Structure 1
Amino acid sequence: MRTDGESWDIASGVGVTALRAATYRALETLRPDALIEDRYAEWFVDAAHDPRFTSPLRDPTLVEDRPFGQCMGLRTTFFDDFFLTAAHTGIRQSVILGAGLDARTYRLEWPPGMTVFEIDMPAVLEFKEHVLAEHNARTKAHRRVVAVDLRGDWPEALVEAGFDPHTPAAWSAEGLLTYLPGRAHDELLVRIDQLSQPGSHLAFTTVPTGADPAALAAIRSKYSDVSPFGEGDITELIHTDARVDPAHWLTEHTWAVRQFSTDELASIYNRPPPVLPDELAAFSRQSTCTVALR
């Protein structure tokens, strides 16, 4: 059961989803036709010492037919391209909301003068810092770590870390919004809007547009039960209370919005559409990734 004041680290609660995503990024990196190269992901998984996640790296066949694994390369590349496209327009500050084990500050070829802010829970970022220091990792941009709960007053902490609210920014909320309660979800959009000057960019993932929440919850529960990671029912981590539709809200607040389905991303990146069970294939044709420009 989710509670408003709960906390987590990399091995508990929502933090576990960061390890799951890192595992899939590490597995994508091993593919002969990999869309990404994320050597950092394996570092994080190994450092967690959790056999639920280290085992698939030793034997990828354990997860090769899992729906999320087939989509991770597409989603990661989408956000990689989003940040680099924003930087190409002249933006020099990017914010990764719910950064988890995202290593884009290290992986991407950022232009000179770029600052990347990573926001997440203190315990998650402490784990991340420890692993990166152990490997003597070097960033390709100025990195600012903002250890704060996104359900709280994170804009103040972000500005204190050096964010300039008078300059355009690129924002990402990848795999984040469904884990926020409705109030925090809606406040997040308001705060991004307030901190974004004209020329700002935003990218995020959501549940498929138009999806029936009850049907989606049932499908998630079904596939959680057979998760190779033994995580239990991950649907317990997802908030289903009332919230605004992000794309509609942003459109009403002067953002130009474009949405993409998994199948569309597969076409863009020259990959065959994921081979999914019928009940999931329908969702792959609905929009789940969104870019908004102010």
Structure 2
Amino acid sequence: MVNRAAGTAVGPMVIAAVEQHRPPGQRLLDDPLAAAVLPATSRWVAELSRGPRVRDWLFRASERAAPGIWGGIACRKRYIDDRFASALEDGVDRVVVLGAGLDTRARRLTTPNGVRVFEVDLPVNVERQRARLGVPGHITPVPIDFEREDLSAVLASHGYRHDRRCLFVWEGVTQYLTEDGVRRTLDFLAGAAAGSRLVFTHVLRDFLDGTDLHGAQALHRRFATGRPLWRFGLHPHRVGDFLDAYGWREVEQVGADELEARYVRATGRAVPISPLERTVLADKP
């Protein structure tokens, strides 16, 4: 299960890399480092997408396989970029990225002096990041198996302290964990300092349990049946209560409609966004 989950880190970065070949006003996000973290074959595909025909073919192929996933991943990254920048502008000087994957956020967005970023992930992904992008001085790589190791102890061993306001980024991770794994992480987050912030994504519970497939039958067969890769989901209207039990307050929850209005409409492109995933911003009173 761990290796299957680790392998999913590449796809979102292919989307980010291909988006960079569109004119600035038509991009869903800016990530000039995305191609650099990709393995050789994926990097070659992303480079071919400089040509509009290849780029459009890749987008159409994505839509056939998983309708709305391209736009959903690109826009959730843009939304989290905005929350990252806002937190640092407001004086938060610690960031913990839970399940960093191959994301480049801490390297490409402005980080003021004194900001420290802990990138927590499976060892294989931590090593990929180190090999392809190096480790700037403000970033601390933290290898961990989320299901088997104690997050608090591992972070503490790398210099993390609970007494500083912190932004926690938990992007594209919760669905790969068991509910026990999610709750163990929230047990850790319950000890965060007042004024801390959390931004995370979740898959819809009704999709995982088959109540409503939202037109994504093929995706359900791939991720939620047999030996499922996606194992945890939430009902959007229950997120607030779920977080409240751990001392967090839901500030905002965005899905397809909100992301389309904020990020897609201005590009003039027709980019569907999947309803299967939502992104939540919360704070610690």
| TM-score between the two structures when normalised by the length of structure 2 | 0.81
What is the distance in 2 between the residues matched to 1:57 and 1:237?
29
Map 1:70-109 → 2, pairs under 5 A: 70-109=71-110
Hey, what does 1:193 align to over in structure 2? 190
Is 1:221–1:234's contact at 8 Å kept on the other side of the alignment? no
Hey, what does 2:200 align to over in structure 1? 204
What is the distance in 2 between the residues matched to 1:69 and 1:20?
10
Is 2:208–2:220's contact at 8 Å kept on the other side of the alignment? no
Q: Give the aligned residue type for 2:231.
A: H
Q: Give the fraction of aligned pairs with identical amino acids, expressed as a percent.
A: 24
Hey, what does 2:20 align to over in structure 1? 29
Distance 1:43 1:234, change over 3 A: farther
Hey, what does 2:162 align to over in structure 1? 165
TM-superposed CA distance for 1:37, in Å, is 2.3
Matched residue of 1:18: which SS? helix
What is the distance in 1 between the residues matched to 2:151 and 2:187?
12
TM-superposed CA distance for 1:109, in Å, is 0.8
Aligned positions, number: 263
What is the distance in 1 between the residues matched to 2:270 and 2:173?
22
TM-superposed CA distance for 1:149, in Å, is 1.1
What is the distance in 1 between the residues matched to 2:179 and 2:269?
32
What is the distance in 2 between the residues matched to 1:150 and 1:215?
28
Map 1:110-259 → 2, pairs under 5 A: 110-133=111-134, 139=136, 142-151=138-147, 152-194=149-191, 196-208=192-204, 213-215=209-211, 219-223=215-219, 233-235=222-224, 236-240=228-232, 246-257=239-250, 258-259=252-253
TM-superposed CA distance for 1:21, in Å, is 0.8
Unmatched 5+ stretches in structure 2: 49-53
What is the distance in 1 between the residues matched to 2:172 and 2:233?
17
TM-superposed CA distance for 1:242, in Å, is 9.7
Distance 1:209 1:184, change over 3 A: closer
Q: Give the aligned residue type for 1:80.
A: D
TM-superposed CA distance for 1:14, in Å, is 1.1
Hey, what does 1:288 align to over in structure 2? 278
What is the distance in 2 between the residues matched to 1:115 and 1:42?
24
What is the distance in 1 between the residues matched to 2:113 and 2:11?
32
TM-superposed CA distance for 1:269, in Å, is 3.0
Matched residue of 2:126: which SS? helix
TM-superposed CA distance for 1:215, in Å, is 4.5
Unmatched 5+ stretches in structure 1: 226-232
Hey, what does 1:228 align to over in structure 2? none
Which residue, out of 51, 55, 65, partners 2:45?
55
Flag the structure with more relative contact order, 1 or 2, with Cα contacts below 8 A and sequence separation at least 6. Answer: 2
Hey, what does 1:229 align to over in structure 2? none
Distance 1:198 1:273, change over 3 A: farther
Distance 1:243 1:64, change over 3 A: closer
Matched residue of 2:281: which SS? strand
Hey, what does 1:230 align to over in structure 2? none
Q: Give the aligned residue type for 1:15.
A: A
Q: Give the aligned residue type for 1:42.
A: A
TM-superposed CA distance for 1:191, in Å, is 1.1
Is 1:70–1:274's contact at 8 Å kept on the other side of the alignment? no
1:261-282 CA distances to partner (integer Å, 9 max, x unpaired)? 1211221236269654xxx86x
TM-superposed CA distance for 1:50, in Å, is 3.6
TM-superposed CA distance for 1:72, in Å, is 2.6
1:83-129 CA distances to partner (integer Å, 9 max, x unpaired)? 11111221100010000101111110112211010001111111221
Matched residue of 2:190: which SS? helix
